[in-house]
Amino acid sequence: MAVENNVKLGQQIGIYRLDALLGEGGMGSVYQAYDLNLQRKVALKLMLPRLARNEAFRARFLQEARAAARLDHPSIIRILHFESLPDLLYLVMAYVSGPNLRRYVSHRVEGNAPLPLAEILGLTAQVADALGYAHQQGIVHRDIKPDNLLLQPVSSQTASGEPELRVIVTDFGLAKLQYGGIQTQTGTFMGTLPYMSPEQCKGQELDGRSDLYSLGVVLYQLVTGRLPFDVSSPTEALYNHVNVAPPVPAQLRPGLPGAVNELLLRSLAKEPENRYLNGEEMAVALRAAAVELGDWDETTLTPLPQSMTPVPPSGVTRTGGVNLSQAAQSLNSAAITDPRRFDHLLLAKPGENTRAVPLGRERLLIGRGENCDVRLDDELVSTEHCRLQKSERGWQVVDLNSKNGTFLQGNRLLAGVAEPWEPGQTLRVGRHSLQWRPAQGGQSSAVMSQMGSLGGTMLRTTLADIGLTVEPAQLSLGRGEKAVLQVGIQNLGQRVAHFRLTQSGLAPAWTQLSEDSVQLMPGAESYISITIQLPKDETSASGTLPFKIEAQSPASGALRASVPCELLVRAERGMNVAMQPTQLAVGQTGRIALQNSGNAPTTYKMRGQDSAGALNFDFSQTEATLQPGEKQLVTVQTAVKKRPWVGAAQMVPFTIDVFATDAPSDVRQLSGLATIKPRLPAWLVPLLGVALLLLCGLSAGGAYAIFGRPDPTATQIAIVPPEPEPTATPERLPTDEPGTPVATEPASTATNEPAVTNEPTATATIAPTATLIPSPTPTLTPTPPAPGPRSLGGGLDDEVRAIEGDGDLVYVGGRFPRGIRLWNQATLQWSELGGGVDGIVNDIAIYEGEVYVTGSFLYAINGDGSQVEVRNVAVWSGSSWRALGGGVSANPQSLAIAVDDEGNVYVGGSFQSPARNIARWLASEERWSCLGYDCTLDAGVRYFGNDASGGDYVNEIVIAGDDVYVAGQFSVASEDLNNINVPRTTNLAVWNRGTERWAAVGGGLVNNVNYSNEVHALAYYDGVLYVGGRFDTIYAFGEYEFTRYIAAWDGTSWQTFTNLGSMVYAIAVNENGIYTGGEISVYNEGPEVASYVTRFNGFEWQSVSSGTNDEVLALYTDGVYLYLGGKFTNFAGQDAAYVAGWVEP
């Protein structure tokens, strides 16, 4: 084995020198090594070359190593480094100087220094703590045994009363590597036989409670000095762990405290739900038992037997695992002592596992007392409740004057009278239901009638030579939940028989059998697990679903038995709702997209309200009944109750509440703004005033001409008509001051004679327009641009990769000459930024009026022709270019740039210097830095071992507050090479400026299926992060969810999308919807439509007009215009050279 590694002590592997061989195993060797860089001892696990050359094993090794590296707990071995090179695969761990638990106990026993029970409980509690932590991280060990528990002396006690030893759990994930694939295959189990849980033996899906069972075996061994089951083959492991109750510890160790005895039995419960819920709960119980020990504080120990390894059946290699059906077949033919040679009693209690008790004596006492043969822990059961006694025809039951009675088939028994108890009849004792089964092949093998519900959880039927048991026969599940049925098949015939198991009534995709057939010896019984898992979507409609489990012998079609079962799918509400647009002018129509995401028909209501009470809401329908999964579009218009005559336009916030009629308190609230415009625009009011005054002046002049004109023979008075000025305002009013021209109407005593003055007077001017007031310039509301496509001045000469805007100024970068140009939307003209750059611009950012660009270029050129060496990063100040230090290394280019509110610049791409793929320019210090602790130790984002085809790199950076979101193609983000502390950051991670740490986004990763997947685009809008690229799954809090090239994270959950047809390169979001560009097609519920640019309106994906004729690589929106750039030359049916604009209708 290990010699296959062909390495020698003293040899150097990477930065590690091999100093001593610590052990050898089936996958390789473990060495004590020395880290030459950090000058410390480490443990190095070196895999065999033949395994290192196996691509599947390498992939599994890296996955398990990454998972284990996330664990940070004082009782879990710390993973320091791992490497994958051709013919070389190794893992570096912290070095633990102490022995493993097996050697430690043997040493204590040999030295006649047995372990105190308090020390045993304390050490076990440390392991339970560690397992609880690992299980919270979603990691199951699968091979807990004394050999994998190391002991390290510590300077102080680990917890009050516990020994000065620290238990270190090792080999997380290695059981998967040795015994099978990444996921446990149905019918295959892995681990060490004496310590395996029942569900491991049956090849079922495991959770943390499986590890707690294995830890219970270790504790049982430490306390009693023996294993609960002596097993040396898969057949024995399968039978004993699944069917046989362990010897009661207190019977093996007289005087053992009851709390410890109960703790051990609970840890070794056959069903996971009857064990401790998690490691934390078990640790609390262990420490509580240690406190209650009193004087009984030691146990005599014998040396623990050597570690057992699975013995493969004929034709199965050691690394291939053990097949359950093979083990079961071997079991049926093996000469194993079977307790079912006796009649046996079945006991069921609601909420507990049904258990079997052999009826091996002529008389058995049932009750709550210590001396009872069958003890029932139930306050409704008397101390001595009833007695079972053997009769010629079977069994009888005698009630012993119990307080609450004994009931046979629902009838209370008379005290002291022996009543016959037939097989299949149910005896009720307190909360317990009891039935007895005759021995298999014995004298009591009477024909069994169909048994009713045993405690409401189990049904059994017997027909001819088949016995069939289903537990539970009734179950209730919600969407996404699962349950496991245990189906027992019994061969009651006299020949070896082959049985096939089927289910009917449930969707085949909902069920999975651990195996669908079994071969049984006469009298033998086998168990098959059926996992039922409901889908998370609306296809799991609510209601009661009857189904049937059937066993049939293919050799005899008439030989079959079936059990009727029932599944209740619980009703669950859910809705998806969105509104577009969120800003409405009064009278404008908004669209509300509503979908029933629950699994039951639901009626939804809608209501609108605003705090000012200024609006009325007109819905196309205020109530809608939707079937599960059904979508509906509802329109709404706002109307103002009292529209003002004058004044400025008002923005009135409003909300629309959507809720299910059967849950009116569960309200989804949509927020929007309504624009209320006055009847008269503000600019029209002064013009109306001018017109009114002018009308008054003209009226006065007309009246004078008609009623007050003097005789022309009178004293000469020059009448000068007013100069026409339609916008003048009459300001002169009549006055009594002498010498002031007055325009009067004739007095009531006037005659036909004209008024005459005795003295000539100066010429007077009747001037109603004496004072002219300039008219104010009207303030006009800008007319919104007409919807549709926009040409940007003839476009550009080659591919566009980046667009960013600042008001009317839109900066465009790409592959064309000079790399960057400026489009002015106000003047509709292109202009230059000096002489641009001498290469390609991939991304643009704007901060305080300055333009930051990155890409693949060496120089930036000023307007006077002078060159500035910038190396892939440059800043345009408005008149000239400048560099940021020495830029970033050109290997091969940088792809993303962003600037935070302090002026720090983040640049991402594919480079090694000044950091790994992402670097930060510190504006206050004017220097480059990494996002981590040590820039020399690969701080940043990367692949482990850099073994992915195409390498690792960053495509996009978006900043929201203190969070810097980074996307691209990578598998880990870390502060340095030795701080691999971020779980599941494949292709997407976030750096927090406050904590200076990396973290995962949304509980997980974006597609870790293969290295060709990556994230290309990010957008942050209204508190939501939108992610686009080449991926089809996301990982959210332990669950994989299907999505299609785009997903959205709102801070608490992921939103998935399913109707995009290909890769997303760019995302832009505004109130009109989510825009995506790339190699895109949309198909919704109908035929696929090629587009390259699409919009999601909250209800479905749509092509933006007729789309483009080639890929869209860049999108930018200012809320009105959408700018798009890429490889296209046509957009919306019009010529568009690589760049275009769009206004949404």
* DSSP symbols for 258-308: HHHHHHHHHHT-SSGGGS-SSHHHHHHHHHHHHHT-TT--B----PPPPPP
Residue 726: the pLDDT is: 45
Q: Does the pLDDT value for residue 978 go beyond 60?
A: no
Residue 801: φ, ψ to 5°: -120, -15
Compute the average pLDDT of residues 287-310: 54
More confident residue, 1010 or 475: 475
Asked if residue 134 lies in contact with residue 76, where contact means CB atoms within 8 angstroms, the answer is yes
- Answer for the pair 505, 524: CB distance below 8 angstroms, yes or no: no
Rounded CA-CA distance 1007/1041 in Å is: 10
Contact (Cβ atoms closer than 8 angstroms) between residue 243 and residue 229: no
- Is the pLDDT reported for residue 1072 higher than 50? yes
Residue 634: Cβ within 10 Å count: 21
What pLDDT, on the 0 to 100 scale, is given for residue 127?
95
What average pLDDT does the segment 227-231 reach? 84
- The CATH code of domain 333-528 reads 2.60.200.20
CB atoms within 10 A of CB 319: 14
In order, the DSSP letters of 1015-1065 are EEEEEEETTEEEEEEE-SEEEETTEEEE--SEEEE-SS-EEE---B-S-EE
Those residues with Cβ within 8 angstroms of residue 326's Cβ, 6 or more apart along the chain or in another chain: 234, 313, 316
Say what percent of the chain tops pLDDT 70. 74
pLDDT digits (tens, 9 = 90+) for 258-272: 889 999 999 999 999
pLDDT confidence of residue 512: 86
The pLDDT assigned to 718 comes to 41
Which range, of 120-124, 447-451, 576-580, 665-669, averages the lowest pLDDT?
A: 447-451
Report whether pLDDT(794) > 80. Answer: yes
Using CA atoms of 661, 662, 666, 672 in order, give the dihedral in degrees to the nearest 10: -10
What is the b/e burial string over 914-949, where b = at least 16 CB atoms within 10 angstroms of the residue's CB? bbbbbbbbeeeeeebebbbeebebbbbbbbbeebbe
Torsion angle in degrees (nearest 10) through CA of 259, 260, 265, 269: 90
Question: Phi and psi of 863, rounded to 5°?
Answer: -65, -25
What pLDDT is attached to residue 273?
Answer: 92
Cis peptide before 892 (omega within 30 of 0): yes
Q: Give the span between the Cα atoms of 492 and 446, in whole angstroms.
A: 11
Which segments within 570-609 are labelled E, that is strand? 575-580, 583-585, 589-596, 602-609
Q: Report the percentage of the chain scoring pLDDT > 90.
A: 26
Inter-helix orientation angle 208-224/279-291, to 10° = 30
For residues 880 and 866, give the distance between their C-alpha atoms in angstroms, rounded to a whole number. 10
d(CA 767, CA 688): 22
pLDDT for 855 equals 93
More confident residue, 682 or 948: 682
DSSP 437-488: EPPTTSTT-PPPPPEEEETTTEEEEEETTEEEEEE-SEEEE-TT-EEEEEEE
Inform me whether the pLDDT recorded for 1115 exceeds 70.
yes
- Angle between the 258-267 and 279-291 helix axes, to the nearest 10 degrees? 160
Whether residue 706 is predicted with pLDDT greater than 60 in this model: the reply is no
Q: Which helix (H) or strand (E) holds 778?
A: none
pLDDT bin (cut points 50, 70, 90) of residue 783 is low
520-554 pLDDT, tens digit per residue, is 776 667 778 888 988 877 778 888 889 988 888 87
Position 354 confidence tier, pLDDT thresholds 50, 70, 90: low
Cβ neighbours for 721, distance < 8 A, ≥ 6 positions apart:
none
Judging by DSSP bridges, how do beta strands 820-824 and 829-832 pair with one another?
antiparallel
Q: How, if at all, do strands 1121-1126 and 1139-1143 pair?
A: antiparallel
In the predicted model, is pLDDT for residue 899 greater than 60?
A: yes
The residue among 1060 and 622 whose pLDDT is bigger is 622
Confidence category of residue 736, pLDDT binned at 50, 70, 90: very low
Q: With beta carbons less than 8 A apart as the criterion, state whether 1074 and 1096 touch.
A: yes
Structure-block tokens of residue 223:
């306390």
* Mean pLDDT across 947-954: 64
**Domain spans of the chain, in order of start:** 2-94, 101-312+321-332, 333-528, 575-676, 683-697+716-734+759-773
In which residue are the tokens 């009703």 written? Answer: 571
Lowest mean pLDDT among 336-340, 384-388, 641-645, 1120-1124: 336-340
Over residues 111-133, the pLDDT tens digits come to 667 788 888 999 999 999 999 99
* pLDDT at site 1084: 61
pLDDT at 191: 63
At 893, list the tokens: 């280019």
How far apart (Å, rounded) are the C-alpha atoms in residues 1076 and 1066? Answer: 6
Length of the chain equals: 1145
Q: Which residue has the higher pLDDT, 326 or 413?
A: 413
Phi, psi of 158 (to 5 degrees): -75, -30
Compute the distance between CA of residue 239 and CA of residue 228 in angstroms, rounded to an integer: 13
In the chain, the amino acid numbered 264 is L
Q: Confidence band (pLDDT; 50, 70, 90) for 886?
A: confident
Average pLDDT (954-960) is 95
3-class DSSP state for residue 1134?
Answer: strand
Per the CATH hierarchy, to which homologous superfamily does domain 575-676 belong? Immunoglobulins (2.60.40.10)
DSSP element (H, E) containing 685: helix 684-707
Superfamily (CATH H level) for 101-312+321-332 = Transferase(Phosphotransferase) domain 1 (1.10.510.10)
Residue pLDDT, tens place only, 800-815? 999 999 988 999 999 9
d(CA 141, CA 125): 16
Residues of 811-825 as b/e, b for ≥16 C-beta within 10 angstroms? bbbbbbebbbbbbeb
The residue with tokens 């006065």 is: 700
How much is the mean pLDDT over the chain? 77
pLDDT at 937 over 60: yes
pLDDT at 459 over 70: no
Q: What's the pTM value of the predicted model, to 2 decimals?
A: 0.41
What mean pLDDT comes out for the span 281-300?
A: 73
From 904, 878, 890, select the one nearest 822 (Cα to Cα).
878
The predicted model gives 692-704 an average pLDDT of 69
Q: How many Cβ atoms from other residues are within 10 Å of residue 667's Cβ?
A: 13
Instruction: Return d(Cα 1062, Cα 1045) in angstroms, integer.
Output: 7
CB 93 within 8 Å of CB 43: yes
Mode of pairing for the β-strands spanning 79-85 and 40-47:
unpaired
Instruction: Name the least confident of 176-190, 235-249, 499-513, 641-655.
Output: 176-190
For domain 2-94, give the fold. Answer: Phosphorylase Kinase; domain 1 (3.30.200)
Does residue 159 carry a pLDDT above 60? no
- Kindly list the strands in the beta sheet with 497-504, ordered across the sheet, starting from the edge strand earlier in the chain: 474-477, 556-569, 543-553, 497-504, 517-520
Closest of 884, 875, 965 to residue 922, by C-alpha:
884
pLDDT in the model for residue 494: 65
The end-to-end CA distance of the chain, in Å, is 72
Q: What is the mean pLDDT of residues 770-783?
A: 46
pLDDT at 727 (0 to 100) = 42
Residue 896 C-beta-side C-alpha neighbours within 13 Å: 29
Cβ–Cβ under 8 Å, residues 787 and 1122: no
Q: What is the mean pLDDT of residues 588-601?
A: 85
**Enzyme catalytic residues:** 143
Residue whose C-alpha is closest to residue 632's, from 672, 575, 583, 585: 575
- Is pLDDT of 357 > 80? no
Residue 975 pLDDT class (50, 70, 90 cuts): confident
